[in-house]
Chain A
Amino acid sequence: MVLPNLRVASAMRLRGCKSLAAVAAIAISACAGSGEGLDENGRPIGENPGTPPPGGAVDFVFLQSTIFTPLCTTCHAGGAAPLGLRLEPGVSYAMLVNVASVEVPALLRVSPGDPGSSYLVHKIEGRAAVGARMPLGGTPLPQTSIDNVRQWISAGAPAPAVVSVSTAPTAIVASAPIDGEALDAPLSRLLIVVSRPLDASLVNATTVQLRRVGAATQHAPDTAPLEPLRSIRVPLNDPSSVWIETAVPLGTGEYELQLRASGAAALADMAGDAVDGDSDGVAGGDFRLTFTVTEPTR
């Protein structure tokens, strides 16, 4: 009775060994990328702005390229980013600085000047009030990386420098529709594109207004009633554009879209400089766009 059982057990062990050997063979045959032509984040060289020289002050670009992009964006990216926290380039700063933590809303993810009260530091040091240490399930960050994060926050968590070296103010470079264009009804979406990322907190119903104008309305342009807007937003993945959606499709008539870039509440870029709305080469001045919605062509 014993001998057959031993044979079965022996045969099963042999099959198990073969299975593991097969996985091992597959594992050995799979190779990681050579990294040729890529930067340290695995992106094509030249795609992203360069990192500061070693030994220089730690800035956000350096943290992005050494921590957030290579480690965090495996999970914290795109529409499925855990707790809505996206850490890919171009988005991460706005998601971190002066933004309340989801897990502990009393704490800011990054509180400029105060690393000890910044939830980001709590998470990477493994002393957060909620949840596991980050990176989740991976090696804790080296102490030098944690120190770099602390140093940047202590310095006030400065925003990444504007990449462009141009001294020209942020300008409106494109729109849909374009000024003077006539389009078939119905129309419900408008788009404005500017030359640099906007401060999204300033893009709202005060700075973006749409009115129906023209002789039929019997109103001067600035006194005509506002058209109700369903949404005005600056997409996270394209912070240099403003998407406007009307509450109801626009009927036939003449319309004026106004972007306020003067006065107390003016559209501004991430550096805080007002947008050159009137295209005079100087920051500031309102932008006005007039278009006509007509009956559809049969």
Chain B
Amino acid sequence: MTHRTLGPALLAIAALGAAAPVSAEPWLAVQTGFKCIQCHVNPTGGGLRTVFGNVYAQTELAARRLNPDDTDLWTGSISRFLSVGGNARANAELSDTRNLGTDTAFELEELRLFLDFAVVPNRLSVYVDQRFAPGSAANLEANVRLWLREGSTYVKAGQFYLPFGLRLEDDSAFVRQVPGLNMTTPDNGVELGFETGAWSAQLAIANGAAGAAETDDAKLVVARAEFVQPAWRVGASAARNGADAGERLVAGVFGGVRTGPTAWLGEADWVDDDSLGADGRTLLTGLLEANWLLRKGHNIKLTAEYFEPDDDVGEDEQNRFSVVWEYFAIQFLQLRVGARVYEGIPQNDLQNRREYFVQLHGYF
């Protein structure tokens, strides 16, 4: 059974108190006051959407709904035991780098499919997040998830995204690149998670090889905790990787607050890496983002980011500013139009560039 009728689905949303959108991005979670698990099978967010997430994408998120009289809705559930989903992003980009001119390109950023085999519904699942393009297929997540206590405590083993900070869609954000714990660096290990009341917390132990083969006995330990309230949330993350190459410590705080139609996000991270340079380095990065839900289906995102590559060196800071219009045109289709300005030291052209993009994002 691939569909469910509109009536029960809307009732489900009403029962959960939904009054605003829910989707993959943290700003939507802040808008609604929900945890990631509300809309995603993965308790830490991203990937396959739940029935709630799929229903919301069709009824509340989109500016308008194609075939509004159709009473059937896609839920992602093929059966009680199997759910599917996917993402596709196609970009048209123009970049303008100081002294180096402009480049334009069309790019298929990603085509991913998600599968969740709930062999024991609500308790035991086998989950796969597979990227099929660009290039040949590559596995991003493949794990077994067991809910020790249904809906509150789980253990996950296999390959997965490590829990750290805000799970932003934009992996090129400084706060995702600099800590190095993002959706380009899934790792093999075990994660223990708690979803209790207002708390969402995870503790993971992984190889710490950032997707490469393990080469030493040292392991990466990551902890993340978030306290979620309807109008605000606050959290903290920390990680330690004792790799042979040198110990790497990462810590950060993050949060969000809703003020009227605007969802604010913030994150600040500190990295101390002994393997960088002769004596190690301390790196700092931060993000402040405002998401103004102009009206149904239209979001204006304004982001300011900061990156300090070495705390002991002055005048080397970098900034990135972005403005993006996100238009949820119809169900399962999003148009993103944006510009990003990179600012760095004047003697480095590549740190001073502008990027403009149009992205078509299909999801289900």
Contacts and interface: CB of A to CB of B under 8 A. Distances in A.
> Do they bind each other?
yes
Contact of B317 (A32, A37, A75, A237): A32
Contact of A36 (B172, B271, B315): B315
Interface residues of B, number: 86
Contact of B290 (A23, A88, A102): A23
A228 interface: no
B173 to A, nearest CB: 9
A35 B347 contact: yes
Given A78-B273, A237-B246, A19 B259 contact: yes
B315 A80 contact: no
Interface stretch (A9-17, A51-59, A159-167): A9-17
A3 interface: no
Q: Is the interface of A mostly helix, strand, loop or mixed?
A: loop
B225 to A, nearest CB: 20
Contacts of A88: 276-277
B211 A80 contact: no
Contact of B180 (A15, A80, A139): A80
B345 A38 contact: yes
Contacts of B143: none
B343 A74 contact: no
Interface residues of A, number: 65
Most B CB within 10 A of own CB, among A19, A42, A79, A129: A79
A38 B347 contact: yes
A148 interface: no
B275 A78 contact: yes
Nearest to B308: A33
A13 B293 CA distance: 9
B326 interface: no
Interface stretch (A130-138, A182-190, A210-218, A258-266): A130-138
A129 B208 CA distance: 24
A130 B245 contact: no
A235 B313 contact: no
Contacts of A133: 107, 134
Nearest to B103: A140
Interface of B: 95, 97, 100-101, 103, 105, 107, 109-110, 131, 134-136, 138, 170-172, 174, 177-181, 184-185, 208-213, 215, 220, 241, 243-248, 250, 259-262, 264, 271, 273-278, 288-290, 292-295, 300, 302-304, 306-307, 309-310, 313-319, 321, 343-348, 350-351, 353, 355
Given A35-B345, A35-B346, A77-B276, 4 more contacts: A79-B243, A79-B247, A235-B246, A237-B277
